Amino acid sequence: MMKKCVGCGIELQNTDKDLQGYTPKSIDSKEDTYCQRCFQLKHYGKYSTNKMTREDYKKEVGKLLDDVKLVIAVFDIIDFEGSFDVEILDILREKDSIVVVNKLDLIPDEKHPSEVANWVKDRLAEESIAPLDIAIVSTKNGYGVNGIFKKIKHFYPDGVNAMVIGVTNVGKSSVINRLLGKRIATVSKYPGTTIKNTLNMIPFTNIGLYDTPGLIPEGRASDLLCDSCAQKIIPAGEISRKTFKAKYDRIIMIDNLVKIRVLNDEEVKPIFAIYAAKDVKFHETTIERAKELEEGNFFDIPCECCRDEYNKHKKITKTLTIKTGEELVFKGLGWVSVKRGPLKIEVTLAEEIEISIRKAFIKPRR
């Protein structure tokens, strides 16, 4: 049997350094071995592009569906819509599952885990999904991870092989490493780090965890940018929040990615907040000035490296009304939460960026 990289699951080879799975080490060694790509990611943060397509990922994950009894689905609470992929939802309708909601530590307003669990439960119910249980965790500080183990033991006391699934950047490998008690799966801020299914056993148990490739979702703003810009808008730390009381015809720009024009007349004065990663810039201005900013270098995202390519995407404009207690979500970027509405707006953005209106997860302060 070919030896595999313990980090990403790719079959190892030491004949061609330009092909996947290359390692300068002896493959016959009994010790755990990482491919050169994972080794460089793990120790130096050096990233090399993974050329696997969305279909490649789906095919690899599909190999396990008939063989595993339990699915552990990981979602990102900060970019929930971006991680709520239809392929994952289809799997959850068919298999027993434990839903793990990661990045609790990034929620900008104090919110009890039970509130988060209830909100997620309602969202899953809308998709006719009823998991065995929901775990609210932070792989960054370890909060709630032991609860996942307890839930698995409760439903499968004799042990089970479970597959851990999720879209890219939700923290699947981090969840696995926490449960294993050591850093085996390669953790990276870049998408497509895990290439092949990899099985690891939780020490002193009959519980096996398959680390699977991350599914590549559709409609995320972050996937339209270069790696550098994408990492800036994918929250990994503090979340920025800014409250607005914008008047008619004022423009609010979320970097040079989204342009919001307020359509409320003077009689209705909406209050709303915008949430995004700390490196994302919010700017309120006039219609005329917004045009100048779009054509200039005021915004850093998209950057010089990806600006021309990003501008090739067709821009569309939508007119929307968001009610009090609702949020307008920009997949892979952030969201607008309405404290006092209705908020009537005209939104201009790249056609590929999916938007949706949901029941408010975070209600902004006045």
Q: Tell me the backbone φ, ψ of residue 271, rounded to 5 degrees.
A: -125, 130
Q: Say what the alpha-carbon torsion angle 83, 85, 89, 95 is, to the nearest 10 degrees.
A: -70
Query: How far, CA to CA in Å, does 361 sit from each of 9, 77, 111, 328?
Result: 36, 10, 10, 11
The DSSP result for 244-307, as a single string, is E---TT-EEEETTTEEEEE---TT---EEEEEEETT--EEEE-HHHHHHHHHSS---SS-TTTH
pTM: 0.80
What residue ranges define each of the domains in the chain, with the CATH number in brackets?
Answer: 1-48 (no CATH), 51-218 (3.40.50.300), 222-359 (no CATH)
pLDDT at site 42: 64
pLDDT in tens, 73-94: 999 999 999 999 888 999 999 9
> What are the C-alpha distances in Å from 101 to residues 124, 183, 241, 324?
12, 20, 21, 26
- What is the token pair recorded at 174? 């981090």
Residue with tokens 């397509």, as numbered in its chain: 53
> What's the order of all strands across the beta sheet hosting 334-340?
239-244, 271-277, 334-340, 326-330, 355-359
pLDDT in tens, 321-355: 999 999 999 999 999 999 999 999 999 999 999 99
Q: What is the pLDDT of residues 32-83, one digit of tens each?
A: 777 777 776 666 555 555 556 667 777 888 888 888 999 999 999 999 999 9
CB of 276 closer than 8 Å to CB of 282? yes
Instruction: Identify the three-state secondary structure at position 178.
Output: helix
Query: What sections of the chain are H helices per DSSP?
Result: 36-44, 54-62, 80-83, 86-94, 113-126, 145-155, 172-180, 227-233, 287-295, 307-311
Q: Which position has the higher pLDDT, 26 or 65?
A: 65
**Cβ–Cβ under 8 Å, residues 184 and 176:** yes
Phi first, then psi, for residue 109 (nearest 5°) are: -110, 145
Q: How many angstroms separate the first and last alpha carbons of the chain?
A: 62
Cα–Cα dist 20/10, whole Å: 7
